[in-house]
Amino acid sequence: MHGVAAPRCGPFASTSATDMRVLTLAGGTGAAKLIRGLATCMPQRDLTVIGNTGDDTEVWGLRVSPDLDTVMYALAGMLDVERGWGLAGETFNCLAAMATHGADTWFNLGDRDLATHLTRTRALDDGQSLATVTARLAGNLGVAACILPMSDEPVRTMIRIPGGRLTFQEYFVREKALVEVVGVDYEGAATARPAPGVIEAIRTADVIVVCPSNPVTSVGPILAVPGIVEALRSTAAPVVGVSPIVGGAAVSGPAAALMRVRGLAVSPLGVAAAYAPWLRRLLIDERDQACAPELARAGVEADPADIIMTTRAHETALARRILELSAERRAR
C-alpha cells in the first residue's frame, strides 16, 4: 500500500489575511536558492511553485524530475547546497554498482535520491498524475509549500545541435553544455495542458516571482504550455523577476549561449524580452544599471539589488526585497 493522500495542494491551501500568496515560476538551482530565501520570510503554506518539467528524464527505467526535486529538497532543508542539486550527505553506491553492470552512469542518482524516483515511478505506473505524486513526495518530506508541475503531460526540452538532437539532460549533464546549439524545442508543449491548480494559482496569487532561472530551458518550457502566458498577461498581481544574467554573462550554466540561439540579448533586456509583455519589474545587478532606461521603455521597472546569492543571508535578503517591492506595488 503506497497510495497516500490526494494532493494537499490546491492553488493556495490556506492563507492568513495578512500574508501574501506568492507564486513562483521555477527551474532548478537558481530558483531553489530564491525559494529557500522566500521560505524564510513567509509561511511555506502561502508559497506555490510552478516547476519546470521540460528537463524530466528516464534513468534506468526511473522517472526523474530534476527541477521539481531540487525545489522540493531545498524547501525540505535537504538540498546539497554546494552542488545545487541532490540530497546533502548523499552517497552514490548504487551508481557505482550500476557501472559494474555496464549501465550508463553519467546522470548522477544518489542512493537516498533513488527513493524519490522509485516512489514517483511506481505512482505514475499506477496511473497517478505527476501533480499528485509531486504533492505526496513533498508532503512526505515535510514541505508545506505547494509544488506544482507545469503540466502532468510530458513536455521535453530538446536541444538541436548540428546533425542531431539531444534531450536537455544529455546536453547539460552528459555533454556538459559544451556542444554547439542551433535551436531549442519544447516537444509536446503545444498539446500539453497546465496541471490542475496551475492557472488558478496564477489567478489568485498576490505576487508572481519569476526566479533567476534559465529563461530558455527552465522558464521557457513553463511558458510554452498553452494557457500559462495568457494567465500571466491577465493577472493584476505584480510580476517580478530576478535576472539570471549579470554583467553580460549567466551567473552559472548555459543560459547565455541558449539566449543567443533564441535571438535574446545576454543582458537584463534579453530577460525582459523573454518575459514580455507581462513582466512588470526586474531585479538587476548594480553593474547592469545602464539597462534601466531601456527596460523602462519596454514597460519593465528595474530595481538594482544584490542579486547573486552565495550565502543563505543573500537568499533571504533578496527574497525580502522582492516581497517589500511587491507589497509597495500592491499598496499603490
Closest CA to 152 of 199, 194, 121, 119: 194
Residues in 27-56 that interact with ligand GDP by CB under 6 A: 27-31, 33
CB of 57 to ligand GDP, least distance (A): 12
Residue of minimal Cβ distance to ligand GDP: 30
Of 255, 279, 291, 323, the residue at the interface with ligand GDP (CB under 6 A) is: 255
Closest CA to 211 of 240, 168, 249, 253: 240
Judged by phi (left if over 0) then psi (alpha if -120 to 50, else beta), residue 77 lies in: left
Tell me which residue has cell 532548478: 28
Q: Closest CB to ligand GDP among 7 and 67?
A: 67
Tell me which residue has cell 513567509: 42
Provide the grid cell at 312.
543563505
Distance separating alpha carbons of residues 210 and 216, to the nearest angstrom: 13
Q: Is 302 helix (H, G, I), strand (E, B) or coil?
A: strand
Residues in 88-107 that interact with ligand GDP by CB under 6 A: none
271 lies in the site for ligand GDP, by CB under 6 A: no
243 lies in the site for ligand GDP, by CB under 6 A: yes
Distance separating alpha carbons of residues 250 and 259, to the nearest angstrom: 10
Residues in 160-219 that interact with ligand GDP by CB under 6 A: 211-214, 218
CB of 103 to ligand GDP, least distance (A): 24
Q: Closest CB to ligand GDP among 143 and 307?
A: 307
Q: Which residues are 285's β-sheet partners? A: 305
Of 91, 252, 289, 311, the residue at the interface with ligand GDP (CB under 6 A) is: 252
Q: Which residues are 189's β-sheet partners? A: none
Segment lying near ligand GDP (by CB under 6 A), choices 112-120, 239-247, 271-279, 323-331 = 239-247
Interface contacts to ligand GDP, rule CB under 6 A? 27-31, 33, 67, 211-214, 218, 242-244, 250-253, 255, 307-309
